[in-house]
């Protein structure tokens, strides 16, 4: 099994997860409603943390639930006992084995709070620690760089957001989820466009990766894959945060990757890209919804098909990003299945 195979498995993984996990998501949402939880706290690292960032938007916008991303060392290293009794506490981890993530969920569980593990290993310490488990059922992920477990984590979060959303918004959200596997299958067809787009990076060994709103998660995950696989120093930013300082360090002719969906933030991304092209001569590669705006001259685009609502668009959008990283890695003579200095399970305390 290779990274490329696992990228290709994503439609099936998500189809299976949608069939199996709806019940768990509904049960957790129902218990959260019964307890009237005022907020959700999520502990996660690396790729799983990007699914947590997605949850800030999906749960916040669809279900009106504020989401806190845990600083795990508050519990794991400073041995503090933050009052989590009223929260829904979620740990997200492919392996379910990182001690700092387990410690946050175990602390919450010891306070009697509602806890959920989202993991690919239902026998892991994380799953053991939590009162509810949503198994990703993605099959073994052998490549060091996570791909299919990331999309599965996004879908798990989306299922929970849809289950927590009230009224017609919830009904519509649950229906839209059924269209995700087909959108993923279409996204796999961007492979040739992604391979061609490798040329935009040339021999650049660094770049910035911009997104906002729902696609902040995509920018973070795209940058991480570039770092892990292709050894590109990719700096991810929300377009809003980028304007608050980091923009000053973009070199003339620097490489800018960006992702944009049709929605209230499309204009924000477009504006920033235009000014970076005009004022800094940036080389721009844009992943976007074909309906998000007119193509700018000089911008290489990879269209992300799918026709999904904005809140679900990060699920197919990561696929061309994964494919680009795969082909960039191969083009640079590196092995996508054996990234330098990394192992599959990272045990941080």
Q: Check binding of 330 to a copy of itself (CB under 8 A).
A: no
Rank residues 21 and 143 by Cβ distance to a copy of itself and give the closer one.
143
Residues 126-155 that bind a copy of itself (CB under 8 A): 145
Paired tokens of 270: 């477009």
Q: Check binding of 66 to a copy of itself (CB under 8 A).
A: yes
- Cα–Cα distance measured from residue 97 to residue 115, given in angstroms and rounded to the nearest whole number: 16
Q: Check binding of 111 to a copy of itself (CB under 8 A).
A: no
Contact by Cβ (8 Å): 326, 229: yes
- Cα–Cα distance measured from residue 178 to residue 11, given in angstroms and rounded to the nearest whole number: 11
Q: Check binding of 240 to a copy of itself (CB under 8 A).
A: yes
Taking phi over 0 as left and psi of -120 to 50 as alpha, with beta for the rest, 170 belongs to: alpha
Return the closest-CA partner of residue 151 out of 23, 305, 342, 321.
321
- Cα–Cα distance measured from residue 206 to residue 250, given in angstroms and rounded to the nearest whole number: 10
Q: Check binding of 158 to a copy of itself (CB under 8 A).
A: no
Q: Check binding of 64 to a copy of itself (CB under 8 A).
A: yes
Cα 266 to Cα 62, 105, 269: the distances in Å are 19, 36, 5
CB of 122: closest distance to a copy of itself in angstroms?
22
Beta bridge partners of 233: 206
Exactly one of 6, 100, 141, 288 binds a copy of itself (CB under 8 A); that residue is 100
- Cα–Cα distance measured from residue 206 to residue 140, given in angstroms and rounded to the nearest whole number: 31
Which one of 26-34, 49-57, 186-194, 281-289 is the stretch in contact with a copy of itself (CB under 8 A)?
A: 49-57
Q: Check binding of 123 to a copy of itself (CB under 8 A).
A: no
Rank residues 18 and 152 by Cβ distance to a copy of itself and give the closer one.
152
Q: Check binding of 339 to a copy of itself (CB under 8 A).
A: yes
Rank residues 82 and 122 by Cβ distance to a copy of itself and give the closer one.
82
> Site map for a copy of itself, 246-285, x if CB under 8 A?
xxxx-x------------xx--x----------x------
- Cα–Cα distance measured from residue 325 to residue 40, given in angstroms and rounded to the nearest whole number: 32
Exactly one of 12, 109, 241, 274 binds a copy of itself (CB under 8 A); that residue is 241
> SS3 for 27?
helix
Backbone angles phi, psi at 173, to 5 degrees: -65, -45
* DSSP secondary structure, 229-273, as one string: HH--EEEEEEHHHHHTTGGGGPPTT-EEEEEE-SSTTHHHHHHHH
CB of 189: closest distance to a copy of itself in angstroms?
27
Exactly one of 15, 27, 60, 97 binds a copy of itself (CB under 8 A); that residue is 60
| Beta carbons within 8 Å of 156's beta carbon, 6+ residues apart | 17, 21, 25, 51, 92, 118, 134, 136
CB of 327: closest distance to a copy of itself in angstroms?
17
# binding residues, a copy of itself (CB under 8 A): 73
Which one of 12-20, 34-42, 156-164, 190-198 is the stretch in contact with a copy of itself (CB under 8 A)?
A: 34-42
CB of 292: closest distance to a copy of itself in angstroms?
15
Rank residues 101 and 155 by Cβ distance to a copy of itself and give the closer one.
101
Exactly one of 8, 91, 213, 320 binds a copy of itself (CB under 8 A); that residue is 213
- Cα–Cα distance measured from residue 151 to residue 48, given in angstroms and rounded to the nearest whole number: 10
- Cα–Cα distance measured from residue 115 to residue 129, given in angstroms and rounded to the nearest whole number: 8
Exactly one of 20, 33, 81, 142 binds a copy of itself (CB under 8 A); that residue is 81
Exactly one of 12, 26, 31, 71 binds a copy of itself (CB under 8 A); that residue is 71
Kindly report the CA angle at 86 between 63 and 158, in degrees rounded to 5?
30
Rank residues 235 and 260 by Cβ distance to a copy of itself and give the closer one.
235
Rank residues 34 and 249 by Cβ distance to a copy of itself and give the closer one.
249
């Amino acid at each position: 099994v290779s990274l490329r195979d696992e990228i290709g498995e994503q439609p099936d993984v998500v189809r299976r997860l949608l069939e199996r996990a709806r019940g768990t998501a509904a049960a957790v949402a129902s218990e959260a409603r019964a307890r009237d939880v005022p907020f959700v706290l999520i502990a996660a690292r690396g790729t799983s943390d990007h699914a947590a960032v997605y949850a800030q938007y999906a749960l916040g916008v669809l279900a009106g639930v504020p989401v806190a991303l845990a600083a795990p060392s508050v519990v794991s290293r400073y041995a503090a006992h933050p009052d989590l009794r009223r929260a829904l506490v979620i740990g997200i981890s492919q392996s379910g084995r990182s001690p700092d993530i387990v410690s946050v969920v175990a602390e919450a569980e010891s306070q009697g709070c509602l806890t959920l593990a989202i993991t690919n290993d239902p026998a892991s310490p994380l799953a053991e620690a939590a009162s509810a488990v949503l198994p990703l059922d993605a099959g073994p992920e052998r490549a060091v760089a996570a791909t299919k477990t990331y999309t599965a984590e996004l879908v798990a979060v989306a299922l929970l957001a849809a289950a927590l959303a009230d009224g017609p918004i919830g009904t519509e959200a649950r229906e839209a989820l059924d269209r995700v596997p087909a959108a993923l299958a279409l996204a796999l067809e961007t492979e040739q466009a992604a391979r061609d787009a490798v040329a935009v990076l040339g021999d650049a060994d660094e770049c910035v990766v911009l997104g906002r709103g729902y696609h902040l998660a995509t920018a973070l995950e795209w940058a991480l894959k570039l770092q892990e696989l292709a050894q590109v120093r990719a700096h991810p930013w929300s377009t809003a945060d980028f304007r608050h300082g980091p923009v000053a360090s973009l070199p003339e002719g620097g490489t800018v990757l960006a992702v944009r969906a049709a929605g209230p933030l499309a204009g924000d991304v477009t504006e920033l890209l235009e000014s970076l092209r005009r004022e800094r001569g940036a080389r721009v590669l844009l992943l976007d919804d074909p309906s998000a705006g007119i193509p700018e001259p000089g911008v290489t685009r990879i269209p992300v098909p799918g026709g999904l609502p904005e809140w679900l668009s990060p699920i197919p959008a990561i696929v061309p990003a994964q494919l680009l990283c795969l082909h960039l890695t191969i083009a640079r003579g590196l092995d996508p299945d054996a990234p330098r200095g990394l192992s599959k399970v990272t045990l941080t305390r």
